[in-house]
Structure 1
Amino acid sequence: MKTTTYALALAASFTGANAYWKGFNSQATMGNGACKTQADWEKDFNVMKALPGGFSSIRVYASSDCNTLANAVPAAIATGGTILASVWTQDDAHFDREKQALLAAVQQYGVGWLVAITVGSEDLYRKETSASTLAQKIYDVRGMMTTVNGGSSIEIGHVDTWTAWVDGANEDVIRACDFVGTDGYPYFQSTMSNPIDQGSNLFWESTQAVRDVVNRVKPGAWVWITESGWPSAGPTENQAVANVENAQRYWSEVACAAFAAGHTFWYTLQDFAATPNFGVLDANYNPLYNLAC
């Protein structure tokens, strides 16, 4: 009953300016490498909700690794948050553990906390699998979800780089998806002029390229922005300079427009890697720059 009440309240509030899911990617480990506890996930949700714009959704990268869903789902429910869940596809044993962790979560908590499910992340970019094999795993997870009350309503997709989506060899994956999650980083586009002045144009050109392919292959399927950002620190990539000023500009010019235009998950809430650092929060959970839109 608590899960049903939570889902209804969430649906009722999801209107008007909140018409799109908007949130951040968040890793399952702390700066010292320890797996996040439920309390750590609750802090992520609460800090995020207090930011300008009132973000409430987190994209996670796995279901079983670090007990991600076992800890993050009750944290989401406790704070009124939601999760874009993910299932790793590498090797069959790992894929099975991931599916079972997702199934356990929806069997225990229902589906009210779920934004959607992504099966795999940048597998095509890394050339770790074929399009046909990945498509079958998407169908596999969709079939599993039909066994759960309300599971048939949950959209299933895949996240990959924009360059992977515009590759004609990967169209089987697009056909298998309810939605396509695209990752685009002008900072890393070393094959063309990529200073911060071109950041917005490069990002939206790549996103439109994915939309064009998806509209041709599977008309009506949504393209979600699942990763983008500009680092506040790190090496210069081609003409792209990593600093707080440029991260602020990219947020103002790209993130704010993306949040207003469609389902968007920014990279990233915190980044414990030394370089490049894409986190919008520092180690003390304070914003590194102005996140108002």
Structure 2
Amino acid sequence: MVCSKKATQTAAAVATAASSVFSGYSGANATPVADVVSKAASTASVSAANSGIKGFNYGAFFMDYSAKQQADFEYEFNRAQNLANTTGWNSARLYTMGEYLMDPSAPVNPLLLGAQISRLYIWVVDPATYPAVQYGTASDPISAIPAAIASKTSLLLGMWVSGSTSAITNEIAALKAAITQYGTDFTNLVTGISVGSEDLYRAAQGDATSPGVDVDTLISYITEVRNAIAGTSLEGVPVGHVDTYDSFENATNTKIINEIDWIGFDGYPYWEKANGNSIEAASDLFYKGLNKTKAIAGDKPVYVTETGWPVSGDQFGEAVASDANARKYWKDIACTLTENNVNVWWYILQESQNGHASPDFGLFGAGDLGVVPQSYDLSC
């Protein structure tokens, strides 16, 4: 039991950390989703003009490298809309437009091992060494799209652009194919398009096994995407990029801000080992990063595209993975973000499925989402 004095101090600290962020969310920035509401007003899954979008990140693979099918995505989307002690989590952030499937007869790519399999890191799939098969071609639209249509789930689309010069070509082809195949049933659900995810961060690391994209190449890809959607029912949908605050702070990269409509902030205090990353310090670390991103963004909206705290896994610095700490992080971060109408996509609904992620950030552990209990309380 936390004593009342400590609880009061903690609440005050969270409020103080959040206040400097939310004081800037006024006027045009109060509702980042408003830019697309008029386009999608007839779609129940898109939030009203005076509220932020709430959703989860959804990877394209399970832990055993099998690709999710439409039924899998639909099952996840429907579960997210029926959580205990919270409502409105009806948006999905995707990492790719393509429908990929690992060839089970191929040697396992060691770069795919670990928790990152829950995302789709296309760059690790080298067709010459680790074959991948498509449902048709490399430009087939991801099956999350018909699942979103069926479940009335709004979409923050992702386009994976690192690791191969053909990546952006395939992503654009899949996007255009989705527009043709699903029409406005699809496009009315789209709240934004993210060209890339943490590409600038990975480029700065200089790790050949985890390549990124430099800022000039990324800007050229953004232009390609804008040109591709011009004259379609996605024309005018906000185009952005997702990265870490220090990547946006880098003087070389700041010019990207002028090329995008919104900025996606990925913030994980759990990984900030050098900054004293205990759960007690987590809210301060998170809001410092968000504040820095907002300062760089100027008058452009900042979306919280990834954040969360693991329920299990090794201690990392001072950060301890546990249900209790994940609950505290939700209370301190998710609750303050949603109360202030900030667009947020939590990481993640379920990470361990057909395998075990470590650390595991999932709200649900391994097993049937309709049966396994939530790992922590979501009340605010």
TM-score, normalised via structure 2 length: 0.71
Residue identity in the other structure for 1:212: A
> What is the rounded CA distance, in whole Å, between the counterparts of 1:38 and 1:142 in structure 2?
27
Confirm or deny that 1:40 pairs with 2:67: no
> What is the rounded CA distance, in whole Å, between the counterparts of 2:45 and 2:310 in structure 1?
36
Residue identity in the other structure for 2:94: V
- Residues 114 and 154 of structure 1 are in contact (CA less than 8 Å); yes or no, is this contact kept in structure 2? yes
- Map of 1:256 onto structure 2: 335
Structure 1 stretches (4+) deviating beyond 6 angstroms? none
> What is the rounded CA distance, in whole Å, between the counterparts of 1:70 and 1:229 in structure 2?
25
- Residues 227 and 267 of structure 1 are in contact (CA less than 8 Å); yes or no, is this contact kept in structure 2? yes
- Residues 53 and 292 of structure 1 are in contact (CA less than 8 Å); yes or no, is this contact kept in structure 2? no
For 1:262-273, what aligned pairs fall within 5 Å after superposition?
Answer: 262-272=342-352, 273=356
- The runs of 5 or more residues in structure 2 that have no matched partner are 1-38, 101-134, 204-211
- The runs of 5 or more residues in structure 1 that have no matched partner are 1-5
- Per-residue CA deviations over 1:18-60 (Å, capped at 9, x if unaligned) read x211100011122432111111111011100101223110111
Give the 3-state SS of the residue equivalent to 1:247 in structure 2: helix
- Map of 1:14 onto structure 2: 47
- Map of 1:281 onto structure 2: 364
- Map of 2:22 onto structure 1: none
Deviates further, 101-110 or 111-120: 101-110
- Map of 1:116 onto structure 2: 192
For 1:95-174, what aligned pairs fall within 5 Å after superposition?
Answer: 95-109=168-182, 110=184, 111-127=187-203, 128-149=212-233, 151-174=234-257
- Map of 1:3 onto structure 2: none
Residue identity in the other structure for 1:222: P
Confirm or deny that 1:290 pairs with 2:377: yes
Residue identity in the other structure for 2:362: G
Residue identity in the other structure for 1:154: V
Alignment equivalent of 1:175, drawn from 221, 235, 258: 258
Q: CA deviation at 1:16?
A: 6.4
Q: CA deviation at 1:234?
A: 1.0
Confirm or deny that 1:185 pairs with 2:264: no
Give the total of aligned pairs: 282
> What is the rounded CA distance, in whole Å, between the counterparts of 2:359 and 2:324 in structure 1?
15
- Per-residue CA deviations over 1:149-181 (Å, capped at 9, x if unaligned) read 3x2221100111122112121112211110000
Alignment equivalent of 2:311, drawn from 210, 232, 235: 232
Residue identity in the other structure for 2:147: A
What root-mean-square deviation, in Å, do the aligned CA atoms of Structure 1 and Structure 2 show? 1.9
> What is the rounded CA distance, in whole Å, between the counterparts of 2:168 and 2:149 in structure 1?
25
Higher helix share: 1
Call closer, same or farther: CA 1:16–1:124 in 2, change over 3 Å: closer
Residue identity in the other structure for 2:88: G
Structure with larger Rg: 2
Q: CA deviation at 1:108?
A: 2.3
> What is the rounded CA distance, in whole Å, between the counterparts of 1:87 and 1:144 in structure 2?
13
Call closer, same or farther: CA 1:13–1:228 in 2, change over 3 Å: closer
> What is the rounded CA distance, in whole Å, between the counterparts of 1:124 and 1:62 in structure 2?
17
Q: CA deviation at 1:144?
A: 0.8
- Residues 73 and 113 of structure 1 are in contact (CA less than 8 Å); yes or no, is this contact kept in structure 2? no
TM-score, normalised via structure 1 length: 0.91
Alignment equivalent of 1:74, drawn from 139, 146, 151: 146
- Residues 91 and 153 of structure 2 are in contact (CA less than 8 Å); yes or no, is this contact kept in structure 1? yes
- State the identity as a percent: 34
- Residues 304 and 344 of structure 2 are in contact (CA less than 8 Å); yes or no, is this contact kept in structure 1? yes
Higher relative CO (Cα under 8 Å, sequence separation at least 6) belongs to 2
Residue identity in the other structure for 2:358: T
